[in-house]
Amino acid sequence: MLISRKRFLQISAGSIAGIALSNLWLPKLLSASNATNGKGRLPIIWFQAQACSGCPVSFINTEYPGVDEVLIEVIVLEYHPVIMGATGDLALSVIDRMIAEESGKYILVVDGSIPLEEDGLYCTVGEKDEKPITALEWINKISESALAVVAVGTCATWGGIPAAPPNPTGAVPASQVIKDKPIINIPGCPPHPDWMVGTIVNVLKYGIPELDSLGRPVMFFGPDKLIHDNCELRQYFDTGIFAMNFGEKGCLYELGCKGPVAHCDAATRGWNSGVNWCNRSGGPCIGCTEPFFPGGAGSGIYEKLPGAEVPGLAGINASANTVGMALGAAVVAGIGAHAAARVISTKYRQYKDEKNREKGTPYILKEKEEEEDK
């Protein structure tokens, strides 16, 4: 089962590319499932490192199938620190049993980043001979015997907030610790329950879904899932109506929306049983599924896209419009964002010239500019 990550991506992209699944695929998959009673279910060890538990809480928000159905029909949730009945050594003994008896058969799900500084002592779980065992040791040990690894949440996929500058604990994503196993990345802070449950069901029924170059399932994060292209506020953008303050109706671009560079299907799937999603609520997309989230020191989550400083893209801090383009292009690895960025830059220039005359500059920059005027 030792294949390189690159080879893994090639295989999975090649073999499953034919299966294009719509938003409605999840119920179909479940009804197609005959799996019951431990046979045909996917054994899972869900391990938390530097996590906030937002990922498991989102996981149990799954509506169809409900979490009880998932536990009974789809997976065998062998270990999960937030849900499991067992505690202490009894809980950890489950992991030992899995490694001994189910080697190569289970999936390791990781949420949270993994701290490397201080030999990993910033996160410990359990102890042996009175000495703490680090999350790093656990993840190495559990992944060694795993069939595959699913990293859920932006911390486990890209590093997330714990890894944001100055990264006090040397936090890294799962892919920087686990080198020799296939890894599926399901980003999001937190991920939508359907992204997690859907990926797991897909692995069980059809094998590993098609992944993009960052290891994300294309069916949820593909190039056609650009928030900006699917946003119901897009009409406001196209007609140049921009919300200048929170709570106003209009495109949220001016309030820092990262929709033009963020990929996920939240806009069409909806959050929390579909009652709402980020931009519909009035709170701009913060790009929580992307490797640039939450940005570096000196940046701001609600700062307008052009001019945003992107960690990991060294040297890119050029003037307004080029950065928007570079950001989009780099983040999505050249899959169609050039067009979006170009649209933005022209639209935005036009719009800003007009707005500046009419309304003055947006609030965030206002004081700075006033100060500079003095």
Partner 1 sequence: MAKQIVTVDPLTRIEGHLKIKVEVENGVVTNAFSSGEMFRGWEIILRDRSPLDAPPIAQRICGVCPMPHGTGAILALDDALNVKPPTNGRIIRNLMLAAEFIHSHLLHFYHLCALDFVDITAVLNYKGTDPKLNKVKDWIQADIDAGVASAGAPFLPRYEGDYIQDFDVNIQAIANYLKALEVRRKAHEMLAIFGGKMPHCQTLVPGGVATMLDIDKVIAFKSRLSEIRGFIDSQYIPDVVAVASLYPSYFKIGGGVGNFLSYGGFPVDEDGNRYYTSGVYLDGNLSDFDPKYVAEFVKYSKYSSGSGLYPLKGETVPDARKSDAYSWLKAPRYNGKVVEVGPLARAIITYLKGTDPDFKSLIDSALTALGLQPEDLISTMGRHAARALELKLLADKMDEWVNEIDPGKPVHTKFSIPMTSDGMGLTEASRGSLGHWISIDNWRIANYQAVVPTTWNGGPRDDSGNMGPYEKALIGAPVADVNNPIEVGRIIRSFDPCLACAVHIMEGDREILKFRVC
Instruction: List binders of partner 1 among 97-136 (CB under 8 A).
Output: 97, 101, 115, 118, 121-127, 132
Q: Least separation, in Å, of the C-beta of 256 and partner 1?
A: 8
90 near partner 1, rule: CB under 8 A: yes
Give the one residue of 11, 13, 19, 84 binding partner 1; rule: CB under 8 A.
84
The number of CA neighbours under 13 Å toward the Cβ of 268 is 16
Residues 254-313 touching partner 1, rule: CB under 8 A, are 255, 266, 271-273, 275-284, 286, 288, 294-295, 297-303
Q: Binders of partner 1 among 232-251, rule CB under 8 A?
A: 245-249
The identity of residue 149, as a single letter, is V
78 interacts with partner 1 by CB under 8 A: yes
Contact between 41 and 75 under an 8 Å Cβ cutoff? The reply is yes
Q: How far is CA 285 from the centre of its chain?
A: 13
Judged by CB under 8 A, which of 12, 157, 169, 202 binds partner 1?
169
CA-to-CA separations, 112 to 46, 184, 205, 252, 288, in angstroms, rounded: 11, 15, 27, 29, 14
Q: Which residue, chain included where needed, has tokens 């036009």? A: 350
Nearer to partner 1, 74 or 219 (CB): 74
Looking up tokens 């006033």 gives 370
Confirm or reject binding of residue 48 to partner 1 (CB under 8 A). Answer: yes
Structure tokens at 219: 């069916």
Q: Exactly one of 82, 116, 326, 343 binds partner 1 (CB under 8 A); which one?
A: 82
State which of positions 4-33 bind partner 1 (CB under 8 A): none
Does residue 320 interact with partner 1 by CB under 8 A?
Answer: no
What is the closest distance, in whole angstroms, from the C-beta atom of residue 327 to partner 1 in the complex? 17
Degrees to nearest 5, angle at CA 52 with 129 and 5: 80
Report helix, strand or coil for 53.
Answer: coil
Residue 230 interacting with partner 1 (CB under 8 A) = no
- 313 by DSSP, 3-state: which? coil
* Region of 324 on the Ramachandran plot (φ > 0 left; ψ -120 to 50 alpha; else beta): alpha
Residue 302 C-beta: closest distance to partner 1, Å: 5
Site string for partner 1, 193-222 (x = CB under 8 A): ------------------------------
Question: Where does this chain touch partner 1 (CB under 8 A) — which range of 164-172, 175-183, 218-226, 328-336?
Answer: 164-172
Which amino acid appears at position 128 of this protein? K
- Residue 147 interacts with partner 1 (CB under 8 A)? no
Is 144 one of the binding residues for partner 1 (CB under 8 A)? Answer: no
Residue pair 239/266 in contact (Cβ under 8 Å)? The answer is: no
361 binds partner 1 (CB under 8 A): no
Give CA–CA dist 51/72, Å, rounded: 25
Helix (H) or strand (E) holding 156: helix 153-158
